[in-house]
Amino acid sequence: MQERTKKDKYISNAAFMPQEELLETGLKKKKVSIGIPCESEENEKRVAITPEAANILVEAGNTVIVQEGSGLGANFSDRDYSENGAQIVKTTDEVFNCDLVIKVAPFSKDEAEKLQDRRTVLSFLKVLKQNKATLTAMMKKNITAIAFESIRDSSNELPVVESMSEISGITAILIASEYLSNQHGGKGVMLGGISGVTPAEVVIIGAGTAGEYAARAALGLGAEVMVFDNSVQRLRRFQSTLGQRLNTSVYHPQVLDKALKSADVLVGAIQIEDLRPWYHITEDMVKKMKKGAFLIDLSIDRGGCIETIECRDLKDPVYEKHGVTHYSAWNLPSRVARTASIALSNVFTPLIQDMADRGGLDHMLKTNRGLSNGVYVYKGILTNETLGQKFNLLSKDINLLLAAF
């Protein structure tokens, strides 16, 4: 009994003795090196990280390596980057050796072959422009590749697509205004009316983000706007968002036919989800439009929604067919490269820093489903079913791969 008392006393005293502190193991931050190469495609003027964004990343302890001239298309000089802490290099060697390589245009085969093994790359994918050689080069090097246009945010929106759609919608109307004028061989029509003169008519196909901002710009210039969509709910939301009454309709053949015959401007703004051709505006419909009318298709990077449209480069986007001026460029936001670059940088800067704070890409992909949605190659394994079908390659579910690694 006495021995038990001594033991109890020892235990009681031990409870008040200094103990080893047990802390929860947190995420270990990782410094990330970010490489920004020059765009090899001459029509691409955007850059994904601005000098100001580079400063934020460098101040957080990361390394930003920029190839000479990368920001010139958007009027960002090498000095702008160096003054904000970025390292300027002449060739792509050091850039492609970074943990993360980020560019705007899809990677070419040559660029993919220059990448070091097991790197992470971010760029637009552009499924229609993608080729098998580039894809297999990435797979051989165990690259993890993420597509800008497939990344989702916490609200399940596509932040890059949304921001570029806003720019495309506004830019489309400004371009239309130019090509209706005599300066570019147009009819000499002013987009907005003045006292005693009726305004031009603008028909917009699609009530998404691009359509919304095209409508805002057209209404702001005084044009008469009519919007078509296959969803009454989207049209109702569209009208509510704009805060004013405008003409809307579902795709009723007679209503659409009548609108196109009197339209001065046609904007295709359908957000196409797959690669199957299904034209909302057929060639016969285009033939019925007024001579000297103008049309632009903002969904050309996904195949387009107007049958007569051709996928062209920004340096040569204009041609005439059936008396109607056509404008087609898959990277239209590059026309206003500085604005577009800032918009891209606003998306990617916090994303990259979050990646570093979470200890690297792997952990972030497991906890951020929006980012993993953009992965089309994971450690050399194809995870995009559409690309797999296009090139007859085996693809695997990204979620299963993340669970395995």
User: Where residue 381 sits, what CATH number does that domain have?
Assistant: 3.40.50.720
Residue 360 pLDDT: 85
pLDDT of residue 243: 83
- Distance, in Å, from the CA atom of 280 to the CA atom of 304, rounded to the nearest integer, reads 9
> pLDDT band at residue 272, thresholds of 50, 70 and 90?
confident
Shared domain check, 273 and 356? no
The answer to whether residue 157 is domain-embedded is no
Answer whether residue 22 is part of any domain. no
Asked whether residue 301 carries a pLDDT value surpassing 80, the answer given is yes
Which positions ≥6 away from 49 have C-beta within 8 Å? 34, 36, 57, 64, 102, 345, 348, 349
- How many domains does the structure of the chain reveal? 2
Q: Is residue 12 part of a domain?
A: no
Average pLDDT of the chain is 91
- Summarize the confidence of residues 43-67 as an average pLDDT: 97
Residue pLDDT, tens place only, 392-405? 999 999 989 988 77
Q: Is residue 8 part of a domain?
A: no
Among 313, 330, 347, which residue terminates a domain? 330
- The pLDDT-based confidence of 28 (bands split at 50, 70, 90) is low
DSSP run (H or E) holding 146 = strand 144-147
Q: Which residue has the higher pLDDT, 283 or 404?
A: 283
Q: In angstroms, rounded to a whole number, what is the distance separating the alpha carbons of residues 175 and 317? A: 11
**What is the domain extent for residue 259?**
165-330
Q: Is residue 246 part of a domain?
A: yes
Q: Indicate if 355 and 323 belong to the same structural domain.
A: no
* Token output for 278: 């299904």
Band (20; pLDDT cuts 50, 70, 90): low
Give pLDDT, residue 358.
87
What per-residue confidence (pLDDT) applies to 1?
46
Please indicate, yes or no, if residue 26 is contained in any of the structural domains.
no
Same domain, 291 and 397: no
Average pLDDT estimate for 319-327: 97
User: Is the pLDDT at 246 greater than 90, yes or no?
Assistant: no
Q: Identify the pLDDT of residue 30.
A: 80
Question: Based on the domain organization, do 345 and 322 belong to the same domain?
Answer: no
DSSP state of 197: B
- Domain match, 307 and 189 both: yes
* 279 in the same domain as 139: no
